[in-house]
Structure 1
Amino acid sequence: MPDTHIPLTGYLFARLHQLGIRSVHGVPGDYNLVALDYVTPAGLRWVGNANELNAGYAADGYARIAGLSALFTTGGVGELSTLNAVAGAYSERAPVVHVVGTPPTSFQDRGLNLHHSLGDGNLRVYASIYEKVTCAQANLRDATTAPQMIDDTLRQCLLHSRPVYIELPADMVTAPVPASLLDTPINTARPPNDPDLESTLIHSLLDELYSARQPLLIIDGMAARYHIEDEVNTLVHQTGFLTTTTAFGKGIVQESHPTFYGVYTGAAGNPDFMHWVQSCDLVLRIGSLKADSNSYGFTALTDSRVTIELDQDLFDFRGTKHNMSDIKSFLQSLLREFEPTNLQASNRGLEFIPPSPTDLALSLPAEGPITHDRFWTYISRFFGEGDTIMTETGTSYVGSCDFILPANTTVVNSGIWLSIGYMLSACSGAALAQKEMVASGLRGPGRTILFEGDGSFQVTAQAVSDIIRNRIDVTIFLLNNDGYTIERYIHGMQAEYNDVQPWRYLDSPWYFGAPRDDPDYPVFTKRVTTWSELADVLDHEQLRAGKGFNMVEIVMPKEDAHPRLKEQMRIASRQNNAQEEERL
């Protein structure tokens, strides 16, 4: 019996569905319109974003929760509008499948001077640009090879946890391909580690763990990209070693662990603790992102002579590097052989009791202005198990280090790309992914909570339209301190270029078409200026439930910032001045 055939686009979308994607972000355009007809038949939902940049950010947020996402734009103007978002996903390892509708292959081959082009006849110049910010690319010009190219590209996306780029020419949308190919799942398993090398490295690491007198575990954000949260928390529990995270790694370690010591912020934090870290005889770093923004001007990095690093495909033993294939299986093997009774370490001299949001509330002046030094710990009283908490670049990213997190909460932030406005759109994608996973039983219930600055909100405000259009449940705490505070502390405290136009932020849901008096999608907005007003709103039933669209505008003093942010900017200023003096 001859094999039945399906359109190539149907094959592509079916593969995305098989890998767990349920929604496709993007914007329609003439080169992808026909292909969009195949989204719904594949069991997928078309999100329909207001613009391509927001679509890219939303796809990034979706991928960080669901493990993979899809983004579909038209060629040229569409794909370039989302390039910034895809570059950020590449930088921070979010697995986004970017499908681009391109002109027909005959037009490309003839070098026609088409719209959405640079006018030079080169209709694939954008593909060469995307090679720099994707880990694999596919140009689906031949129906006989296209299915295998799709499968290989999707596999690379998952293996490397980075974006990929797929060109779908308009004349290939309905090209027939064998439907039976879908019966063979894409192999998403990582190649096994070399058993002899793995055994050698494991025993070397065990010897270090057993003999260390003053060890430290530092868990960084890439551990979440490698899906090793369970292994990391088991290691923390079994070793009993003092454990910190970076700001980018916040939320990976269950903070109920008695040896969890918060976020290590180097010279911007406690100098006594920094001295203790510098005197450690063993530091084990897992999932590192050693960017200046994630290491407080590199001051939170540790001496390579005492540091062992585990990355997705690299084992760095005190400066000697070894390639490996799978950090997850490596950690699982390590834990099977680990014997806690062999440990010599002691954490004496570092008693740490985290501050309590409840105790902090007792010392707050009821009518005083809301300030950064106490806000971030205090707001932790609002969090619940299962919440996804998202913090925008700048003051929110720095302040989130003070969060006291319940079990099984997820923190999403940006550790290196730091594109302002990213998080508002990413919130729409993350909340959608969370909603879908709860519905399918893959995740427990929880809210999506966003901390967003007023300046950042203005960059991607149309994301509010995407949220309302798709009836996504979000809670937004908008921090209004009248401009770009982090930029003021870098340079230009009183400069006009760090100001933003004041908006009536709480009117935004109505402008973007939010329903009024709809019990299935309620809308709640409130502006607060004092601690007592904040306390009242945090106890509001609607806000606690997290259903519908919720926005609380929190007014803060214009020049107020977290003490850690001020110190971080002083560190950056000193380093910049030192570099300038060296140049001169």
Structure 2
Amino acid sequence: MSKTIPLASYLFTRLRQLGVGAVHGEPGDYSLRALDFIRPAGLRWIGNCNELNAGYAADGYARVKGMSALCTTYGVGELSAINAVAGSYAEYSPVVHIVGCPARKVYASNRLVHHALEVGNMRVYADMYARITAAQANLTDARTAPDMIDRVLEECRVQSRPVYIELPSDMAEAQVDGSRLSEPLHVEPSANDQVLEGAVVEDTLNRIYSSQRPYILVDGLVRPDGIVDEVNELARVTGFPTLAITFGGGIINGSLENYHGVHAGKFGSLDHTPYTDSADLALLFGPLLSDTNTQGWSAVPKEDITISFRRNSIDIGATSHELQIKSFMRSLLSKLDPSKISSKKPNPPLASPRDLLKSLSPPDPSAPIDQDTFYLRLSPFFRPNDIIICANGTSRVGGRDFILPPGAKLISSGVWFSIGYTLPAAQGVAVAQREALEAGQSPGRMILFEGDGSFQATAQELSTIIRYRLDVTIFIVNNDGYTTERLIHGLHEEYNDLAPWRYLEAPRFFGAPEDGSYAVETHDVKNWGQLLQVLESESFGDGKGLKMVNVRMGREDVTKNFKAALVLAGEQLLAELK
């Protein structure tokens, strides 16, 4: 390797070293020179339809690969993406946002240039991003730029949150020390104080051994915290009743006998509150305890019985200990003695989604498809290593009932809930899966459940899926508008309506080839018979190319228990206005 290399080459090579294989984004004049160095660094450029969608796609890619890259231009581009990056920050998705900026002399001149807000305030956008990123770097000096890049990339990985890099257009080709690339980055968390770790492990084990009515509660930050395997092993070894919070769906192996599905308080398909309300120990992993994630905090366990396992702390009741979770979990598992655990089973036994599925009789083929059983009945369609994404609203709630095979993942939002996120995110996930396939792995299918309203928000990313010939299966839950909002407020109001799109004509409009070089399959289903015929089709099940199913459902149809939650939300909204 030469002693000096262009700064942009250094940056993209570092990303490649950290496992990033693609850069999502939208070109702009301030970033064009930097983009020339993407392909030589061994990365793919994935050009999106706009910067917001690129941010969503990068978020989805990061949730699978552990890090992603997003490149936009200064001002208009980065502001278009800021909503997506804020969502990544809120939900701990490690996205590296590279912003092509005006040349350094432009900053020094204080003259008004395009995309600037006003004279003399060129870095106002950087100030905005400082609030929604874990670290920032302004690469204005070739001598310090490599060190700044290394620092922010390390923070991105260690904190699992977005970072922000300003790359002035005249710095892309600035020569920097390339020998540093032989030195690996420090992306492992700092070591725990062994005395403290040992004491907290001992305390935790004593509480586990003495508990008579324990349960494990898993939320979505388990995945970015890097303890999926450890939490699954703890659930298996202890045999404790194990539940997920909505954001944590799909983390626990669905075939475990002691896994009883998503805990949604009294608003889920299964109500486990009689057991959780009387429990004497709750082991809470990766919590992101927002109102929507916990059904108005109804699924949050009582503090006095809870041990919360967070990325950088173990909280026992009201006492917090600064400990890194990965090391702690390994120590806990190594010292756990299963013979000391109470073998008591819940009485009465806790039900699971598996029990619900077994209790269902075959649907009437001519009957309309309903929200109450649609998601549960889809469970046999899933295969190991599939990645399933559920959009906000009825899809996210229905997806709580999915029974997933080993290795399958479920992605949904825990707190940000930005409409339109999931179609671009599915595109990002599909890129990550293609990279896995090219690396000789066996990735599953990319399956998206998205409402008609969410699809309309970012539909143009269907063209990106087609452009790069990605493998994506899409179920459009078409209930003619914003059903979740209808039931909260405005059941028959125009503001909850949507334009009646011909969804299945979208592939052709967005340029899907008609020569057979890329498989496109579309289906319009109105009843159970039509849906089951699609699901049993071998060509549909292979997940290759683009598959789209327009699933027509009732305009006001939601699961019974979710309807109760929405009615309650509407009542609370009304009460706040009085």
Give the TM-score, by structure 1 length: 0.96
CA contact (8 A) 2:270 2:352 kept: no
CA, structure 1 residues 351+394, in 2 after alignment: closer, same or farther (shift >3 Å)? Answer: closer
Distance 2:521 2:474 in 1: 10
> Is 1:527 aligned to 2:524, yes or no?
yes
Distance 2:71 2:387 in 1: 25
In the other structure, the counterpart of 1:171 is 170
CA, structure 1 residues 225+275, in 2 after alignment: closer, same or farther (shift >3 Å)? Answer: same
Alignment of 1:310-329 (within 5 A): 310-324=309-323, 326-329=324-327
Distance 2:2 2:514 in 1: 52
Alignment of 1:127-206 (within 5 A): 127-206=126-205
- Secondary structure of 1:47's partner? strand
CA, structure 1 residues 49+270, in 2 after alignment: closer, same or farther (shift >3 Å)? Answer: closer
In the other structure, the counterpart of 2:449 is 451
In the other structure, the counterpart of 2:515 is 517
Distance 2:160 2:352 in 1: 36
- The amino acid that maps onto 2:534 is V
What is the aligned counterpart of 2:328 among 304, 318, 330?
330
1:272 Cα offset (Å): 5.8
1:112 Cα offset (Å): 1.2
1:580 Cα offset (Å): 5.2
Distance 1:410 1:56 in 2: 21
Give RMSD over aligned pairs.
Answer: 1.5
1:518 Cα offset (Å): 1.9
1:300 Cα offset (Å): 0.7
1:244 Cα offset (Å): 0.2
1:539 Cα offset (Å): 1.2
CA, structure 1 residues 359+348, in 2 after alignment: closer, same or farther (shift >3 Å)? Answer: closer
- The amino acid that maps onto 1:39 is I
In the other structure, the counterpart of 2:487 is 489
In the other structure, the counterpart of 1:255 is 254
1:271 Cα offset (Å): 8.1
CA contact (8 A) 1:357 1:379 kept: no
Distance 1:532 1:230 in 2: 39
1:524 Cα offset (Å): 0.3
1:360 Cα offset (Å): 6.3
Distance 1:187 1:249 in 2: 28
In the other structure, the counterpart of 2:534 is 537
CA contact (8 A) 1:66 1:437 kept: no
- Secondary structure of 1:344's partner? coil
CA contact (8 A) 1:514 1:523 kept: yes
1:351 Cα offset (Å): 4.2
In the other structure, the counterpart of 2:17 is 18
Cα displacement string for residues 230-255 of structure 1 (whole angstroms, at most 9, x for unaligned residues): 10011001111000001100110001
> Is 1:556 aligned to 2:550, yes or no?
no
1:572 Cα offset (Å): 2.3
CA, structure 1 residues 105+353, in 2 after alignment: closer, same or farther (shift >3 Å)? Answer: closer
Distance 2:319 2:305 in 1: 12
Distance 1:352 1:272 in 2: 9
Cα displacement string for residues 118-168 of structure 1 (whole angstroms, at most 9, x for unaligned residues): 133311100000001100000000000000000000000001100000000
CA contact (8 A) 1:136 1:157 kept: yes
Distance 1:14 1:52 in 2: 23
Distance 2:164 2:328 in 1: 30
Distance 1:360 1:62 in 2: 37
What residue ranges of structure 1 are gaps of 5+ in the alignment? none
CA contact (8 A) 2:379 2:402 kept: yes
- The amino acid that maps onto 1:492 is G
In the other structure, the counterpart of 1:505 is 503
Distance 2:296 2:103 in 1: 49
1:362 Cα offset (Å): 3.9
- The amino acid that maps onto 1:274 is T
- Secondary structure of 2:242's partner? strand
- Secondary structure of 1:558's partner? coil
1:3 Cα offset (Å): 5.9
Cα displacement string for residues 153-190 of structure 1 (whole angstroms, at most 9, x for unaligned residues): 00000011000000000110100012111010111111
Distance 1:9 1:304 in 2: 49
Cα displacement string for residues 86-110 of structure 1 (whole angstroms, at most 9, x for unaligned residues): 0000000000000000000111011
- The amino acid that maps onto 2:374 is F
Cα displacement string for residues 536-575 of structure 1 (whole angstroms, at most 9, x for unaligned residues): 0111222100000110000001111112321221332344
In the other structure, the counterpart of 1:83 is 82
CA contact (8 A) 2:521 2:547 kept: yes
Distance 1:272 1:48 in 2: 45
- Secondary structure of 1:293's partner? coil
Greater shift in the superposed pair: 443-452 or 228-237: 443-452
Distance 1:328 1:578 in 2: 44
Distance 1:143 1:131 in 2: 22
CA contact (8 A) 1:58 1:430 kept: yes
1:270 Cα offset (Å): 6.6
- The amino acid that maps onto 2:460 is Q
1:273 Cα offset (Å): 2.2
What is the aligned counterpart of 2:462 among 461, 464, 474?
464
What is the aligned counterpart of 1:478 among 461, 476, 479?
476
- Secondary structure of 1:518's partner? coil
CA contact (8 A) 1:66 1:434 kept: no
1:268 Cα offset (Å): 1.1
- Secondary structure of 1:292's partner? coil
Distance 2:352 2:224 in 1: 30
- Secondary structure of 1:407's partner? coil
What residue ranges of structure 2 are gaps of 5+ in the alignment? none
CA, structure 1 residues 223+353, in 2 after alignment: closer, same or farther (shift >3 Å)? Answer: closer
- The amino acid that maps onto 1:87 is A
Distance 1:288 1:85 in 2: 21
1:322 Cα offset (Å): 1.5
Distance 1:353 1:187 in 2: 42
CA contact (8 A) 1:214 1:345 kept: no
- The amino acid that maps onto 1:479 is V
- The amino acid that maps onto 2:145 is A
1:392 Cα offset (Å): 0.3
- The amino acid that maps onto 2:443 is P
CA contact (8 A) 2:14 2:181 kept: yes
Q: How many residues align?
A: 577
Distance 1:271 1:36 in 2: 51
